[in-house]
């Protein structure tokens, strides 16, 4: 598999921008929801260190699962790529930063509206941030 540098050089060399871009963007957004929701669900994920550790461990689990499945079925349909671990971890960090940036706005929305339905009660947990 190609490294991030080879991806970028292939964009310049072969012009396959859409495929490579979709691969990188897909890797970035795969675990972004984890970075957004983990601090809302578990109180220990409130700082960047713990979020990065969560992202690194989750990324390693995803890549290891691909390797294990390939071993079990006897066919390498996906390979273990360390660049994906980096991109997944950055995605978790992006989700966390999105939460930190939007939490004041979400907090205002939660305080302005008298939230009575269970569907939106997760907004109330933003008061803890």
pLDDT tens readout for residues 46-105? 899 999 999 999 999 999 998 888 889 888 777 777 888 999 999 999 999 999 999 888
**What total of structural domains would you count in the chain?**
1
Here the contacts of 83-86 (C-beta below 8 Å, separation 24 or greater) are: 83/1, 83/2, 83/3, 83/4, 83/7, 84/27, 84/59, 85/56, 85/59, 85/60, 86/4, 86/59
Range of the domain at 122: 4-128
Model confidence at 1: pLDDT above 70: no
Question: Which of residues 43 and 57 earns the better pLDDT score?
Answer: 57
Question: pTM, whole model, 2 decimals?
Answer: 0.74
């Amino acid at each position: 598999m190609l490294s991030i540098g080879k991806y970028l050089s292939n964009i310049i060399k072969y012009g396959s921008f859409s495929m490579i871009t979709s691969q990188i963007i897909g890797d970035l957004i795969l675990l972004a929801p984890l970075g957004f929701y983990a601090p809302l669900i578990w109180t220990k994920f409130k700082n960047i260190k713990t979020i990065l550790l969560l992202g690194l461990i989750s990324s390693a689990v995803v890549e290891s699962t691909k390797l294990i499945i390939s071993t079990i079925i006897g066919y390498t349909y996906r390979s273990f790529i360390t660049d994906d671990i980096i991109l997944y971890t950055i995605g978790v960090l992006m989700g966390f930063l999105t939460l930190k940036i939007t939490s004041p706005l979400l907090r205002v929305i939660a305080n302005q509206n008298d939230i009575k339905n269970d569907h939106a009660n997760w907004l109330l947990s933003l008061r803890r941030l």
